Amino acid sequence: SQVVAFRGDRQAGIITAAQDRLHFAAFDVITTDRSQLVALLQQWTTAAERMTRGEETFENGAVGLSDYRPPTDTGEALGLAASSLTLTIGFGPGLFGPDAENPTRPDRFGIAAHRPAALAPLPVFPLDELEPARSGGDICIQACADDPQVAVHAIRNLARMGFGVVSVRWSQLGFGRTSSTSVDQQTPRNMFGFKDGTANLKAEEPEQLDTWVWVQPADNPAAAQWMTGGSYLVARRIRMHIERWDRASLFEQERVIGRSKGEGAPLGQSGEFDAPNFDLTNGRSPVIARDAHVRLAHADNLDGVQILRRGYNFTDGSDGFGHLDAGLFFIAFCRNPADQFVPMQQALAAKDALGEYITHNGSALFACPPGVAPGHWWGQTLF
Ligand code: HEM
């Protein structure tokens, strides 16, 4: 169906079958008035729920309210279907006052005691070229939909409602989901032409999700129980050096990834979903190279660690040198980034053959609370 339920035990947009399009926005909160922030979260919740049903932000919002005031809904989604729109909110470290990176940051909203330990700044990884203007943020909203105009309309209207309370710090459009998060979905391809999302956690694996995605009661003291049932969102804008990649031979491309380009099978196997065999050798060299992306990112190489990947391709035009500004807007959900994303990215940044072809230039971490209970608003259990 085209309507994904907004309310439930878990936020939509995490294990929801990945939609085709993304508009992701990170906001700075520019007020220090807690009641203003709470009022905005309440308004956002009402509007978000309406939009996920395919309705305007407010009843008669686009037309019909008054000829003499600006419409309360911008109108570009009028007549469009709900398009499986999901809106997922997350809270960034800056909302909670001081942390290791910013020890003097004020606790503007009196919630410092509720900061979960896992919401700590990510370390700087080797090869990172992070741009502050594409990184961080106090609040994120991830809008995913099968129609780009529906996703853009949602972020535009939420940003508009936030005038004076939040300002958009950065945002990213994405297309062509690069992950499948359900066994019913075909594996899509990324901008390097490879299937992406083959070996991913899937919605149909509840025990795995409890282990690797959803925050459990034992993870936090009482003050941070508001995160139980939530998850941490790691966003990385990864520029892919398309022209360099396109000059690499097919052999080199497959060696770097560790899978075949056509079928997406692990090297040495024939089917996409065949298990990789990292012990296979060809003469003296391993069939899946020691620095192949899938070897380094695989659970066997990381004491069993896994993450849920839910990223999107992006192309933001050209960069002034005639090179495509394209890549992967990587989004991962995990139960504790310090135990999952960090060691994985450390292994990749140190050795991954893919490193020659990519550059991470944006980074952010958000704590996404559990689902919105009936009658509740976004973040109610935190404030
Ligand atoms: C697997 C591409 C960045 C984690 C894969 C696969 C491809 C791929 C083609 C194989 C298909 C699959 O199993 O999904 C890329 C590209 C990246 C990128 C082009 C950057 C532009 C990352 C990052 C991480 C990551 C930053 C995490 C820190 C993984 C994991 C797997 C995987 C966990 C599954 C490994 C397995 O168990 O076989 N990636 N990836 N990838 N990638 Fe990436």
Ligand 1 centre from 182 Cα, in Å?
Answer: 17
What atom in ligand 1 is closest to the CA of residue 341?
Answer: 28
Residue among 181, 194, 196, 301 to mutate when testing ligand 1 (max atoms within 8 A of CB): 196
Number of neighbouring beta carbons within 10 Å of residue 64: 10
Instruction: Specify the amino acid at residue 200.
Output: N
Residue among 187, 201, 278, 293 to mutate when testing ligand 1 (max atoms within 8 A of CB): 293
Could you read off the pLDDT of 263-317 as tens digits, one per residue?
999 999 999 999 999 999 999 899 999 999 999 999 999 999 999 999 999 999 9
Mean pLDDT of 158-186: 91
Read off the DSSP letter of residue 64: S
Number of neighbouring beta carbons within 10 Å of residue 221: 10
Mean pLDDT of 239-243: 96
DSSP bridge partners of 23: 143, 173
3-state helix, strand, coil in the chain (%, to 5): 25, 20, 55
Please report how many Cα atoms fall inside a 13 Å half-sphere around the Cα of residue 365, on the Cβ side: 20
CB-based contact 53:82 (threshold 8 Å): yes
User: Could you give the CA distance from residue 12 to residue 52 in angstroms, rounded to a whole number?
Assistant: 10
The percent of residues above 70 in pLDDT, for the chain, comes to 100
User: Could you give the CA distance from residue 118 to residue 99 in angstroms, rounded to a whole number?
Assistant: 11
pLDDT for 221 equals 98
CB-based contact 276:258 (threshold 8 Å): yes
Q: What is the token pair recorded at 2? A: 């085209």
User: Could you give the CA distance from residue 114 to residue 34 in angstroms, rounded to a whole number?
Assistant: 15
User: Which residue has its alpha carbon closest to ligand 1 atom 27?
Assistant: 345
The ipTM (two decimal places) reads 0.98
Mean pLDDT of 320-329: 94
User: Could you give the CA distance from residue 216 to residue 229 in angstroms, rounded to a whole number?
Assistant: 6
Pocket of ligand 1 (CB under 6 A): 190, 192, 194-200, 236, 238, 240, 257, 259, 276, 293-294, 297-299, 327-328, 330, 341, 344-345, 348, 354, 358
Could you read off the pLDDT of 135-163 as tens digits, one per residue?
999 999 999 999 999 999 999 999 999 99
pLDDT at 47 over 90: yes
Q: What is the token pair recorded at 326? A: 């394209």
pLDDT at 330 over 60: yes
Please give the full DSSP string across 248-262, using - where no structure is assigned.
S-HHHHHHHHTB-SS
- Mean pLDDT of the residues in the chain: 96
Burial 140-176 (b: 16+ CB within 10 A, else e): bbbbbbbbbebbbbbbbbbbebbeebbebbbbbbbeb
What distance lies between CA 350 and its chain's CA centroid? 23
Q: Is 324 exposed, middle or buried (0-12, 13-18, 19+ CB in 10 A)?
A: middle
pLDDT for 139 equals 98
pLDDT at 179 over 80: no
What atom in ligand 1 is closest to the CA of residue 276?
Answer: 38
Ligand 1 centre from 13 Cα, in Å?
Answer: 20
User: Which residue has its alpha carbon closest to ligand 1 atom 39?
Assistant: 196
Reported confidence tier of residue 1, pLDDT bands at 50, 70, 90: low
pLDDT at 243 over 90: yes
Reported confidence tier of residue 185, pLDDT bands at 50, 70, 90: confident
pTM for this prediction: 0.97
CB-based contact 232:118 (threshold 8 Å): yes
Residue among 260, 309, 315, 346 to mutate when testing ligand 1 (max atoms within 8 A of CB): 309
Residues ≥6 apart with Cβ < 8 Å to 182: 15, 17, 18, 202, 203, 204
Mean pLDDT of 110-134: 96
Mean pLDDT of 33-53: 98
pLDDT for 332 equals 98
CB-based contact 160:74 (threshold 8 Å): yes
Ligand 1 centre from 348 Cα, in Å?
Answer: 10
